[in-house]
């Protein structure tokens, strides 16, 4: 057994397709004309599974009789998210609940795609191992929170938010404007890099364990040969089940927190 049938490419490489036929001599244009084929396929599968599970839950919802296990799990999840939105954002920000739950479910499914056997589905990878994917989701949250902040605070209150701390002297608040802008711009970067880094690290670990399997194939059937497959199974179980679920939860929770921070300065503004 070699590592090649299990993992054909090193982590971080993505087969790309050109969608606009831009000439290579145009600087910077080719980057926007290429799509990572494995990310597009994986995210498409994750979207389909997310919609399928959502419609399945919706079909089985019932107000008559005791709830089933699926409905009970759904009600526990939505009650928890609703509580977090009320505590961290506001009671009138009910639209954040379906957004946060959809993000959590999609990220969870996208991370769990790593359970598919390597080599059998070469283009099906953890979609969040591509920074383009995580950055796109973070930008959606970022621009949505900025629009919500303008709606709640008004344009004047939104601009005033960048002068915090509000109880400081005028000269101090002016000095803090660049820092507040950097803090706001850094939110989508940190949100996307956190998810990407954890999922990509898991992919790298699987790649290294597969290489170990290839190296061990020429050794006698002792020690590492028995250990390496078990290590791969244990690591994938820990990384996908635990880390994948934790990262989906963190992304969801930070989304709620950012909507709460979008209201910052509301009392001072009034």
- 3 state SS of 183: helix
> Which residue has tokens 């004309």?
33
| DSSP characters over 217-240 | TTS-SSTHHHHHHHHHHHHHIIII
Residue 103 CA to residue 97 CA, distance in Å, equals 10
194 is catalytic: yes
Given the residues 82, 160, 173, 194, select the one marked as catalytic: 194
Given the residues 111, 128, 198, 263, select the one marked as catalytic: 198
DSSP E strands in the chain: the ranges are 16-18, 34-36
Given the residues 8, 62, 79, 190, select the one marked as catalytic: 190
Find, among 249, 264, 268, 246, the residue nearest to 89 by Cα.
Answer: 264
Backbone angles phi, psi at 14, to 5 degrees: -130, 125
**Catalytic residue numbers?**
190, 194, 198
């Amino acid at each position: 057994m070699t590592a090649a049938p299990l993992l054909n490419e090193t982590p971080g490489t993505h087969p790309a397709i050109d969608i606009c036929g831009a000439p290579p001599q145009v600087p910077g244009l080719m980057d926007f004309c290429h799509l990572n084929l494995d990310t597009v396929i994986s995210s498409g599968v994750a979207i389909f599974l997310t919609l399928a599970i959502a419609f399945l839950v919706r079909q089985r919802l019932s107000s008559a009789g005791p709830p089933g296990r699926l409905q009970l799990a759904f009600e526990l999840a939505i009650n928890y998210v609703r509580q977090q939105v009320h505590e961290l954002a506001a009671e009138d920000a009910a639209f954040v609940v379906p957004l946060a739950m959809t993000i959590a479910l999609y990220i969870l499914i996208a991370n769990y795609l790593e359970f598919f056997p390597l080599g059998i589905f070469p283009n099906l990878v953890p979609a969040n191992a591509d920074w383009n994917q995580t950055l796109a989701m973070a930008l959606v949250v970022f621009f949505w929170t900025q629009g919500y902040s303008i709606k709640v605070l008004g344009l004047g209150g939104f601009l005033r938010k960048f002068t915090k701390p509000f109880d400081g002297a005028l000269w101090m608040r002016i000095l803090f404007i660049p820092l507040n802008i950097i803090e706001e711009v850094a939110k989508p970067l940190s949100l996307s890099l956190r998810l990407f880094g954890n999922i990509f690290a898991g992919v790298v670990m699987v790649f290294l364990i597969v290489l170990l399997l290839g190296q061990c194939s020429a050794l006698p059937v002792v020690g590492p040969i028995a250990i390496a497959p078990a290590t791969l199974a244990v690591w994938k179980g820990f990384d996908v089940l635990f880390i994948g679920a934790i990262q989906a939860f963190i992304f969801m929770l930070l989304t709620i927190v950012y909507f709460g921070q979008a209201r910052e300065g509301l009392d001072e503004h009034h």
